[in-house]
Amino acid sequence: MSLYDGVDLRLNVPHSARMYDYFLGGFTNFAADREAAGHVLAIAPWVHDAARANRSFMHRSTRALALAGIDQFLDIGTGIPTSPNLHEIAQGVEPRARVVYADNDPIVLTHAQALLTGNPEGRTAYVEADVTDPVGLLAAPGLRDTIDFSRPVALSLNALLHFVPDAHGAYELVDHLKSVLAPGSALVMTHLTAEFAPEEIGRVIGIYEAAGTAVQARARAEFARFFDGWSLLPPGVVPIPHWRPTADEPPLSASESTGYAGVALRP
Ligand SMILES: C[S@@+](CC[C@H](N)C(=O)[O-])C[C@H]1O[C@@H](n2cnc3c(N)ncnc32)[C@H](O)[C@@H]1O
């Protein structure tokens, strides 16, 4: 009996979540994922560091928001668990924090148990859902039972929306998710851009698209548009490693970061 019995993981096709796991040094990846990830690294060897920098931004932004008093978190496009996961950071600050994870990848679901071992005082839940159907996602019982939408929520969409092209409703779905959140809620995002390394990122996108995964890198202004109407927290929209860096992390250049980060509050 294996963890994956009865789950169609399409192991012969590279998958974005498993390639990301490989970039992070994880073990939930298979030959096709490693081969495609190897092609990416041959073009852009800094992607290893960029993936870690993206993760580290999640730690810093979650800690900052928990310290500011937010105790409910909705993380969409969670990915394969990589400790520390978001609930470990949030509950490390506020043990009663409630965290809901959502992803549409069956392999993430099979690992959800690892995500759900939260602090007994807090609560964690996992919902299998697609961000392109925000109405269905928000109606999931596991989410409604855990999050009180009359109070502030930190919504994180990290390294997710470059997998949702404009034609699949990226801006509309973010607007919908923002509209259900109470004043004082936060939108936390990272996103691939081609602005720092256009030639390399163009070729990397080709590898994902050859595997059937649509990717749309966005320019700074296109990324900033997701936050429209909300107040960006300092330092605003910046390359991912430049969002409130800590002294104990190696400084990465913008080109090595591959993406932008931002955190905004609903007025
Ligand atoms: C690069 S990983 C990012 C993981 C994590 N958010 C982080 O930043 O460390 C992207 C995740 O988004 C998920 N994903 C992609 N498209 C999605 C969709 N339409 N709905 C929900 N999740 C999606 C993938 O399955 C994958 O787990």
93-96-97-101 Cα dihedral, nearest 10 degrees: 130
Atom of ligand 1 nearest to the CA of 80: 27
Tokens of 45: 């060897």
Ligand 1 pocket mutation pick from 48, 163, 176 by most atoms within 8 angstroms of CB: 163
Q: What's the pLDDT score for residue 19?
A: 95
Atom of ligand 1 nearest to the CA of 156: 6
How many Å separate Cα 190 from the centre of its chain?
A: 7
Phi, psi of 261 (to 5 degrees): -130, 155
Task: Name the CATH topology of 16-265.
Answer: Rossmann fold (3.40.50)
Residue nearest atom 16 in ligand 1 by C-alpha distance = 163
234 burial type by CB count under 10 A (0-12 exposed, 13-18 middle, 19+ buried)? exposed
Domain definitions of the chain by residue range: 16-265
Mean pLDDT by runs of 10 across the 267 residues of the chain is 62 90 94 96 94 96 98 97 93 96 89 76 92 98 95 98 97 98 98 95 96 96 98 97 86 80 98
| DSSP bridge pairs for 262 | 189
pLDDT tens, position by position, 257-266 = 899 999 999 9
Residue nearest atom 1 in ligand 1 by C-alpha distance = 159
pLDDT tens, position by position, 28-85 = 999 999 999 999 999 999 999 999 999 999 999 999 999 999 999 999 999 999 889 9
Q: What's the pLDDT score for residue 12?
A: 82
Give the whole-angstrom CA distance, residue 40 versus residue 189: 23
Cα 131 to ligand 1 centre (Å): 9
Ligand 1 pocket mutation pick from 160, 162, 192 by most atoms within 8 angstroms of CB: 160
